[in-house]
Chain A
Amino acid sequence: MQIFDYLTPLAMNIGVFIILAVSLNLINGMCGQFSLGHAGFWAVGAYTGAAYSVYFAPTALPDFINLFIACGIGFSCAALSGVIIGVPCLRLRGDYLAIATLGFGEIIRIVIMNMDVVGGPRGFTNIPHWSNIFWIYLWVLITIVFVANLLSGTHGRAIISIREDEIAAEAMGINTFKYKTLAFVIGAGFAGVAGALFAHAQQFLHPNGFTFMWSVIILLMIILGGLGSITGSVIGAVVLTILPELLRFMGETVSQWRMVIYSVLLILLMLLRPAGIFGKRELNILKLLGLKRESYHG
C-alpha cells in the first residue's frame, strides 16, 4: 500500500518528536530551567548511537538488541554531555542559561562538523535501518511513563518546587542544584534516545539537521501544548509534525512559508495564550475511563 509508505515515516517522526518534546518539557516546563540547546543533545545521541551501529555493532546479535544498545549508548552519551554542560550552566538563571545552552548546542554541532570519523560536513551515511514503529513507540511509552512516575515521586515534587520558586525551595531544604542537574541530565538522556532512534530511521545524518532552529521548534511544541504538561507535549509534537505535511498538500508556496507561520504562531501564543493548550493540566487515561478516582495532584 502506497499510503503506508508515506504514513510510516511520518508516524516514526512523530514518535521521535514526542520523546524530544517530553524530555525538553522535563527541563523547561517541570523544572523551569530555560534550555535552548535540546537539538545538541539530540545530535549527540544520534551520532553516538549511529557510530555504534556502523563501527562496533556485532552482526551476531539480532538487530533489535543492537538498536537497544545504540539507544542505551545514545542515552548515556547525551546524559554525560548533559552533566558536562549542566554543571557549569545551571548556576546561571533565566535568560543567561538560555543563551549558554544555546551556545553549547551550537558548539556540539560545530564539533561534529569537524569530526571526520562521522562524516563531518559530508554527513554520516550507511546507518542500518533498524528503527520501526514498534521500537520507537515502545521508547515513547518508556519516556512518558518514566517522566510521569518521576514527577509523582519525591524527586519530581522537588523538581516542580524549583520551578515554582527556587529561593523558597532552597529555604525548604531542597538541594536545588542537585535536582536541577537531575532534570537536565534525564532530559538530555532521553533526547539522546530520540536521536539514536532517529538515526536508525533516517539512515543519514547531517550536522545541519541539528541547528538551533530545531531547538526552537521543539520549544514551540511544548509551549503550544503547555509548559509543564506531558499530555501537552505529546499533542504539541503531533500537531507540529503533521502541520508541515498538511501545508505541503496546500502547495509549494505554503510549505516554504512554514517557518514564517511557526514564528507567527510562537509570537501569537506568547501574546494571547502563554499557557498553551493544556496549561499545566494532564489528561489521565485511567481517570478518563473511570478506572481511577480523582486524585489530588498539584
Chain B
Amino acid sequence: MSDSTAYFFWDLGQYLINGITQGSIYALVALGYTMVYGIIKLINFAHGEFYMVGAFTGFFLIHSGVPFFLAMPLAMLGSGLAAVIVERLVYRPIRSAGRIPALITALGVSLFLQYLGQNLLGADPRSFPDALGTKTYYLGELMISSTQIIIIITTIVLMLFLRWLVTSTKIGKAMRATSFSMDAAELMGINTDRVISFTFFVGAALAGAAGVLVGMYYNTVEPMMGLIPGLKAFVAAVLGGIGIIPGAVVGGLVLGIAENLVVGFWVSTYRDAIAFGILILILLIKPAGLLGKNTREKV
C-alpha cells in the first residue's frame, strides 16, 4: 500500500470518528423532534432552543463549581422544564387550530427564546469550562479526545434509557398509544395532555444533554447556537423517518458522517448546505425516510 492510500484511510478513519461524534449529538436532538412529531404532528422549531437552554444551564452550573456528573442531569431537568412551560402556555392552546398555525407559533417561540437569550445573556460566545480535563488519545494516526468518548458513551446510555422508557414502562406505553391514536387513547382513560407534556420533557431533556456535550466539545456556548443544529437535527429526523425513534438515531449518524466526509474531502464552506441538500433529496426520493413506510393520502 502506497503512502497516499494509507493517508487516505487514516483520514477516512478520522472523519468517521468526528462524524460519529457529531452524529450522536444530532441524534440526541433529533430524538426530541421525532417524539414530538410522532405524538402531535408538530415540527417543534423551538427544539434547538431547548438545546441552547440546556447548554447554558450546564455552563452556569459548572461555572459555579457543580461537578459535571451532577450538572448534566440538572441541565437536562432545566431544558425539560423550559419545554414543559412552553408546551403548557403556547402549544396546548394552538393544538386544535391545525398544523400550519402551530408551525408558525413554534417559529415564534424559537425566535423568542433566541433573542431573549441574546438580550439577557449577550450575543458574544462564552467559553465553556473544561470540566473533566480533556485528554487526547492516539491510535496510529487517529486522534480521539476524551470528550468524544464521553459524548459517544453518554449518547448510548441515554438512548438505551429512552428505549427502556418507551417500551417497558407504563408512561411509555401511554406515549405509544397516544401517538397511534389520540382519541382512542383518551377513550382508554389515558390523560393525553399529561403524556404530551411528558414527551416534550423527555425530548427537551435529551436536547439539553446534547447542548452540554456540544458545549464541552466546541468549548463555546452562545444564544444562537440552537438554530443551525436544530434545523440539522430536524433533517436527521426526516432522513431516518419522522416519528420513528430508531430512525432519528440512524438519521443523525448518517448526517453527521456525511457532513464530516464532505467537509474533510471536498469543501468546508458548504458545510451547512449539505444537510439541506440531503433533506431535499430525501423528501423527493423517499419522503417517508430511510426507515419509514409510505402512506397514501386519503380524502
A residues near B (Cβ < 8 Å) are 34, 88-89, 91-92, 94-96, 98-100, 102-104, 106-107, 110-111, 113-114, 167, 212-213, 216, 219, 223, 256-257, 259-260, 262-264, 266-267, 270-271, 274
Contacts and interface: CB of A to CB of B under 8 A. Distances in A.
Given A95-B103, A107-B273, A260-B115, 17 more contacts: A34-B100, A88-B280, A94-B99, A98-B103, A99-B43, A99-B234, A100-B279, A104-B276, A110-B270, A113-B269, A216-B107, A256-B119, A257-B115, A263-B115, A264-B112, A266-B111, A271-B90
A219 B283 contact: no
B92 to A, nearest CB: 10
A270 B276 contact: no
A106 B272 contact: yes
Given A107-B277, A110-B272, A110-B273, A260 B104 contact: no
30 contacts: A88-B284, A89-B283, A91-B284, A94-B100, A94-B103, A99-B43, A100-B279, A103-B235, A103-B275, A106-B276, A107-B277, A110-B272, A114-B270, A167-B299, A212-B227, A216-B111, A219-B104, A219-B107, A223-B104, A259-B115, A263-B112, A264-B108, A266-B111, A267-B108, A270-B94, A270-B97, A270-B101, A270-B105, A274-B97, A274-B101
Contacts of B105: 266-267, 270-271
A103 B97 contact: no
B109 A267 contact: yes
A267 B119 contact: no
Contacts of B115: 257, 259-260, 263
Max chain B Cβ within 10 angstroms of own Cβ: one of A100, A103, A113, A213: A103
B100 A262 contact: no
Contacts of A257: 115, 119
A258 to B, nearest CB: 8
Given A100-B283, A114-B270, A34 B103 contact: yes
B45 to A, nearest CB: 9
Contacts, number: 103
A260 B117 CA distance: 10
Contacts of B119: 256-257, 260
Nearest to A262: B111
Contact of B99 (A88, A95, A114, A256): A95
Nearest to A257: B119
Contacts of A264: 108, 112
Interface of B: 43, 90, 93-94, 97, 99-101, 103-105, 107-112, 114-116, 119, 227, 231, 234-235, 238, 269-270, 272-273, 275-277, 279-280, 283-284, 287, 299
B287 A92 contact: yes
Contacts of B299: 167
Given A110-B272, A213-B111, A267 B90 contact: yes
Secondary structure dominating the interface of B: helix
Nearest to A91: B284
B232 to A, nearest CB: 10
B111 A103 contact: no
B108 A266 contact: yes
A270 B104 contact: yes
A271 B89 CA distance: 10
A111 B99 CA distance: 31
A97 to B, nearest CB: 9
Contacts of B280: 88-89, 100, 103-104
Nearest to B112: A263
A172 to B, nearest CB: 13
B230 to A, nearest CB: 11
A98 B109 CA distance: 16
6 smallest beta-carbon distances between A and B, as pairs: A103-B276, A266-B108, A263-B112, A263-B111, A259-B115, A267-B108
Contacts of A259: 111, 114-115
A11 to B, nearest CB: 27
Nearest to B104: A270
Contacts of A110: 269-270, 272-273
Nearest to B41: A95
Contacts of B93: 271
Nearest to A259: B115
A118 to B, nearest CB: 15
Nearest to B103: A95
Nearest to B281: A88
A219 B111 CA distance: 13
Contacts of B109: 263, 267
A96 B111 contact: no
Given A216-B107, A260-B115, A263-B115, A96 B287 contact: yes
Contacts of B110: 263
A212 B48 CA distance: 15
Max chain A Cβ within 10 angstroms of own Cβ: one of B90, B99, B107, B235: B107
B279 A99 contact: yes
A262 B119 CA distance: 14
B231 A102 contact: yes
B104 A266 contact: yes
B272 A95 contact: no
A106 B276 CA distance: 8
Given A96-B283, A106-B276, A266-B108, A114 B269 contact: yes
